[in-house]
Chains A and B, each alone.
Chain A
């Protein structure tokens, strides 16, 4: 079964601190991996898309890494802001099937 697992389930950090979110997947064969940010009550918004040939990709204070051999990805948030409080969802697309397979997300709370 194709699965995407994320950790931690929830995280509280102080404003200005850094944090790293983890994503492990079993989707195979793999096409690409995406990180989405979802504010409460709103639809997910894409942060980054990574193909199997990409190891690192940055989008402002967000940096995603991908190890296609170990099927692991991480999302690093630098100098967190209160507006970073949201759920961060890892999504994987496999080759040959076109569903977006979602992880259950990490709920991040940035505290002042």
Chain B
């Protein structure tokens, strides 16, 4: 257990439905990342937060995707009108910055989304 918690672990949804995932980072970590990983590939960057501010969004994050971190603690990732191509593992990571640049990033176990 890395201390980063993601829920749910698995989600099966019908195409066109909306889904929301939650990530609870390590409490003192100010930076939170979302990544998407498809089978056999390395994780692809989606977005990241510095406290409650969303600092960068990947072009992979279409307008159907939205992420929030309202109080600078937990974060949610919502996918609207899901498509089969959204099926993937969604990974969350957190990290503490402000000091050394080589602070470790801790990953959650991921949420595996299957769109049928």
- Chain A interfacial positions (CB closer than 8 Å to B): 4, 31-32, 34, 36, 41-46, 49-51, 89, 93, 95, 97-105, 107
State which size class the interface on B falls in: 20 to 34
Contact check, A46 vs B105: say whether CB atoms are below 8 A apart. yes
Told that A50-B102, A105-B41 touch, could you supply 12 new A-B pairs with CB distance under 8 A? A31-B102, A43-B2, A44-B43, A44-B107, A51-B101, A51-B102, A98-B48, A98-B55, A99-B33, A99-B56, A102-B44, A104-B40
Contact B42–A42 (Cβ < 8 Å): no
7 A-B pairs with CB atoms under 8 Å apart are: A31-B102, A43-B110, A44-B43, A45-B2, A95-B101, A99-B45, A102-B35
Residues from chain A with Cβ under 8 Å of B48 in the complex: 98-99
Interface of chain A: mostly helix, strand, loop or mixed: strand
A49's partner among B6, B33, B102, B108 (CB-CB below 8 A) is B102
Number of A-B pairs, beta carbon distance below 8 Å: 67
> Interface residues, chain B, CB within 8 Å of chain A?
2, 4, 6, 31, 33, 35, 40-45, 48, 55-56, 89, 91, 93, 97, 101-102, 104-110, 112
List of A residues within 8 angstroms of B107 by Cβ: 36, 43-45
Instruction: Give the complex CA separation of A51 and B103 in angstroms.
Output: 11
Determine the distance from Cα of A107 to Cα of B48 in the docked complex, in whole angstroms.
Answer: 27
Query: Across the interface, which residues of B come within 8 angstroms of A104, CB to CB?
Result: 40-42
* Structural contact, A43 and B56, CB atoms closer than 8 A: no
Contacting residues, chain A, for B33 (C-beta < 8 A): 99-100
Q: Which residues of B contact A31 (CB under 8 A)?
A: 101-102
Measured CA separation A85–B89 after assembly (Å): 20
Q: Is the CB of A32 within 8 A of B102?
A: yes
Q: What residues on A are CB-neighbors of B110 within 8 Å?
A: 41-43
B105 and A100 contact, CB distance less than 8 A: yes
Docked CA distance A9–B106 (Å): 24
A98 in complex: contacting residue of B97, B102, B104, CB < 8 Å: B97
